[in-house]
Amino acid sequence: MTESSREAAEKAAGQPASESGERFLVVRLTALGDILHTLPAVAALRAAHRAARIDWVVERKWAPGLEGSPALDEVIPYERRSWWGAIECVQRLRSNRYTCAIDFQGLYKSSVLAALSGAPRRIGFDRAWAREPGAAMLYTRRVTPAGRHVAELNYSLAEAAGASRPPAPEYPLRVPAGGAASIRARLQERSIGPYIVVAPAGSWGAKCWPPDRYGEFCREFENRSPLRVVVIHGPGEKSIAEQVCRAAAPARPEIVQTTIEELMGLLAHAKCLLAADSGPLHLAAALGTPVVGLYGPTDPARNGPFVPGAIVITQARPDEISYKRRTTFSPSMLRISVQQVLAAVESALRPQA
């Protein structure tokens, strides 16, 4: 097994490698936004256990986003679609002899993985709070969380492992140098200087704002600002980005598809990000980039950007909050106007006092 990045850094600084009886395994496999809402709790865990080993098992596609984090000793990829890959992952977990596994996901698959790690202590949400109630049967300590935001609920699990809830969240992320250099070169090739990012896609349709509205925003924003607009998309989302650009004519926003490493570099240097409730929104917020989040059926008090100063626009009534994965645009998202969004982005771009 390779030496952890944190241990290597300690040795380079002339410090001894970490020695502690505690060996924590963090289990949060997916998705990007949920991983980021777990990170402050893991930062709190690290603050409480400076010398402990803390590893994180996560689906391979998201692992690059956590690599190099000063809160972690090792990021262990989980192969979701490969039985052999899953078996190798479990063998790797067991070889690390964890003393405690913390399941932040609350699903059968995550609780089983925590149990298969061999950790004698396993912390997770109680039945009323686990996403799949039966997952709680595999925990040795079941926690009734306190708080409203998902990140606050996650703090409760870290507290059960000895952490303290901090006054402000921390996001110990490290932008990969290769990803930052790659996206910088790609932007330079297109003569793109200072820019904002628009992320129009989402995991389900009801959370999204229509592409034609994003397109109208791009057109109006170009008339008001010298900043360029970069429209991003992930795998399978290119058609949405193209719809945005067609609706933006005669404005010409730039479409960019990135790896997770490039996305971190792109968002870290953006002047602002505009998106609905999605992974890129929470990643930009975690990286310290000003964000404007558009919210409809999901509650921003529970799932909004968990950072000070984030701007959220919502027109949803209490009875419209729903986490059902509907594919059509929700009435609450359709009530958000282009003029509201323009004003919010302009506010996010103003220098903070």
For the stretch 328-337, pLDDT in tens is 999 999 999 9
pLDDT, one tens digit per residue, over 170-215 is 999 999 999 999 999 999 999 999 999 999 999 999 999 999 999 9
Structural domains in the chain?
5-160 (3.40.50.2000), 177-349 (3.40.50.2000)
Give me the mean pLDDT over the 58-72 stretch: 97
Specify the pTM: 0.93
Residue 4 has pLDDT above 90, yes or no: no
Among 154, 163, 159, CA closest to 125: 154
Helix, strand, coil: what percent of the chain each, to 5?
Answer: 45, 15, 40
Mean pLDDT across the chain? 94
Q: Residue 288 has which token pair?
A: 């310290």
Looking at this protein, which amino acid is placed at residue 46?
A: R
Give me the mean pLDDT over the 245-254 stretch: 98
For position 130, what pLDDT does the model report?
98
Cα 168 to Cα 102, 155, 219, 300: the distances in Å are 22, 12, 37, 18
In the block, tokens 């479990």 appear at: 90
Per-residue pLDDT band at 1 (split at 50, 70, 90)? very low
Q: HSE on the CB side for 130, CA within 13 Å?
A: 24
Give me the mean pLDDT over the 31-35 stretch: 97
The number of beta carbons lying within 10 Å of the beta carbon of residue 234 is: 19
For position 102, what pLDDT does the model report?
99
Cα 47 to Cα 36, 54, 121: the distances in Å are 17, 11, 20
For position 80, what pLDDT does the model report?
85
Residue 12 has pLDDT above 60, yes or no: no
Give 128's DSSP letter.
T
pLDDT, one tens digit per residue, over 266-318 is 999 999 999 999 999 999 999 999 999 999 999 999 999 999 999 999 999 99
C-alpha to C-alpha distance for 267 and 283, rounded to whole angstroms: 8
